[in-house]
Amino acid sequence: MAMSYLLVVIFFASLVSGERPWSELELNRNVNSLDLNPMRRELASPTKTFSVDSYGAKGDGSHDDTEAFAMAWKGACSSTTSAILMVPKKSYLLKPITFSGPCKSVVNVQIVGTIEASNNRGDYKEVSNRQWLMFENVENLVVQGGGTIDGNGKIWWQNSCKINDDLACKDAPTALTFLGCKNLVVKNLKIQNAQQIHVSFEKCSKVEASSLAISSPESSPNTDGIHVTNTQNIQISNCVIATGDDCISIVSGSQQVQATGITCGPGHGISIGSLGQGNSGAYVSDVVVDGVKLIRTTNGVRIKTWQGGSGSASNIKFQNIQMIGVSNPIIIDQNYCDREKKCNQETSAVQVKNILYKNIHGTSASVDAITLNCSKNYPCEQIMMQNVVIEKEDGSSAKASCINAKFSGSSVVSPNCNPV
């Protein structure tokens, strides 16, 4: 046990003791290490186990076990010693449920079996913001165990306006939400068939999300893999994500975000944004996307902002990325418009600045390998590309288009981006 704890300490120390990133842009991210207190306490004794089966859960895949999970959580959260909430190797059917804090001690949720969502859409009518499983205001929480969380999303996909134009557009539930959590570890889980977003981190801080296998069909609408909003100091690592939307989406209020060792595809790639919708202010900063493999995604690494917004997307680094048959490998779009009708021209925009693309190689399924479509009034600033080589998959020439983009330097870039 002592050796395991030592390895955890060495791992996190290595994340924060390397060379100063982004020296090329003279940036200082000041990334703080994750607080190790929850893991330190997790190893402490005594620990009390609260199994959902002890509270009446059937685990037969058809009986509603929501009440048993709620009672087990109440016991674990109110425990004065470290608690384990155990989900055994069975199949549990759940309606929407919120696991609320604060808790009196560390809670370790061990999901060994399968948790499956009710497919009765009427069960979600009374749920605020349409959440299925939500952990709210819990500090020092660990969720792990090697089990499966299944959103049972097919009924939601079939009733989406993006699948059927005759239907009104309505939000579907997020499968797994963490709201206002601090010192959070989520690891070693399979999350599949989300109703909409698979995992969402909202207003959280000091988060480790690792070894997650996330999957939904390529045709499933709005099924982002990992969504990060208003969250600071989050490290996403060693995840395999296949979805019908962004593998990772990072939106306003997020700072100090690291995504490393990610395999993505199918899906829409890794996105910063969208930002600034409805003339809103949006801020994202200090993002590192490092060591990513993108396989036949519709986009590669993308920054997307709406016209009319304000704020900034700054200090963003994409590096060590391999692309295989990606349709739009590198994109900045300050004229993003996800509407049936054409969006109006606006004078304001979210500022995009200090963006580094480094060691990015692979093939494009389309002719457009690099597209920087920036605002005339708020052009992209301090763009740097180093060792970026993208070839068209069929061997023909790929193209680059850079409008209103101001470069601070580039070297070994193909296709070459001639700013307009």
Quote the pLDDT of residue 26: 36
Residue closest to 28 by CA, chosen among 405, 376, 394, 285: 285
Structure tokens belonging to residue 40: 């330190």
Euclidean distance between CA atoms 353 and 372, whole angstroms: 12
Quote the pLDDT of residue 417: 81
Residue closest to 203 by CA, chosen among 183, 177, 231: 231
Is 53 tagged catalytic? no
* Whether the Cβ atoms of residue 269 and residue 296 lie closer than 8 Å to each other: no
Structure tokens belonging to residue 407: 């470069």
Euclidean distance between CA atoms 362 and 393, whole angstroms: 9
* Whether the Cβ atoms of residue 148 and residue 114 lie closer than 8 Å to each other: yes
Residues with Cβ within 8 Å of 400's Cβ and at least 6 positions away in sequence, in order, are: 368, 369, 370, 371, 413, 415, 416, 417, 418
Residue closest to 113 by CA, chosen among 140, 142, 149, 78: 149
In three-state form (DSSP H/G/I as H, E/B as E, the rest C), the secondary structure along the chain is CHHHHHHHHHHHHHHHCCCCCCHHHCCCCCCCCCCCHHHHHHCCCCEEEEEHHHHCCCCEEEEECHHHHHHHHHHHHCCCCEEEEEECCCEEEECCEEEECCCCCCEEEEECCEEEECCCHHHHCCCHHHEEEEEECCEEEEEECCCEEECCCHHHHHCCCCCCCCCCCCCCCEEEEEECCEEEEEEEEEEECCCCCCEEEECCEEEEEEEEEEECCCCCCCCCCEEEECCEEEEEEEEEEECCCCCEEECCCEEEEEEEEEEECCCCCEEEEEECHHHCEEEEEEEEEEEEEEECCCCCEEEEEEECCEEEEEEEEEEEEEEEEECCCEEEEEEECCCCCCCCCCCCECEEEEEEEEEEEEEECCCEEEEEECCCCCCEEEEEEEEEEEEECCCCCCEEEEECEEEEEEEEEECCCCEC
Euclidean distance between CA atoms 365 and 355, whole angstroms: 24
Instruction: Kindly list the distances between the CA atom of residue 346 and the CA atoms of 274, 308, 350, 369, 378, in Å, as whole numbers in the listed order.
Output: 16, 5, 11, 27, 11
Instruction: Kindly list the distances between the CA atom of residue 296 and the CA atoms of 26, 175, 263, 317, in Å, as whole numbers in the listed order.
Output: 34, 25, 11, 22
Burial (CB < 10 A; 0-12, 13-18, 19+), residue 412, is: exposed
Quote the pLDDT of residue 409: 83
* Whether the Cβ atoms of residue 299 and residue 265 lie closer than 8 Å to each other: no
Catalytic residue, from 245, 246, 290, 333: name it: 245
Catalytic residue, from 198, 246, 268, 333: name it: 268
Residue closest to 329 by CA, chosen among 375, 296, 284: 296
Query: Per-residue pLDDT for the chain (420 aa), expressed as one digit of tens each?
Result: 444 433 433 333 343 333 333 333 333 333 333 343 444 444 445 799 999 999 999 999 999 999 999 999 999 999 999 999 999 999 999 999 999 999 999 999 999 999 999 999 989 987 666 899 999 999 999 999 999 999 999 999 998 888 887 777 788 999 999 999 999 999 999 999 999 999 999 999 999 999 999 999 999 999 999 999 999 999 999 999 999 999 999 999 999 999 999 999 999 999 999 999 989 999 999 999 999 999 999 999 999 999 999 999 999 999 999 999 999 999 999 999 877 677 888 889 999 999 999 999 999 999 999 999 999 999 999 999 999 999 999 988 899 999 999 999 888 999 998 765
Euclidean distance between CA atoms 333 and 274, whole angstroms: 9
Is 123 tagged catalytic? no
Euclidean distance between CA atoms 372 and 395, whole angstroms: 23
* Whether the Cβ atoms of residue 196 and residue 173 lie closer than 8 Å to each other: yes
Cα torsion through 30, 36, 38, 41, rounded to 10: -160
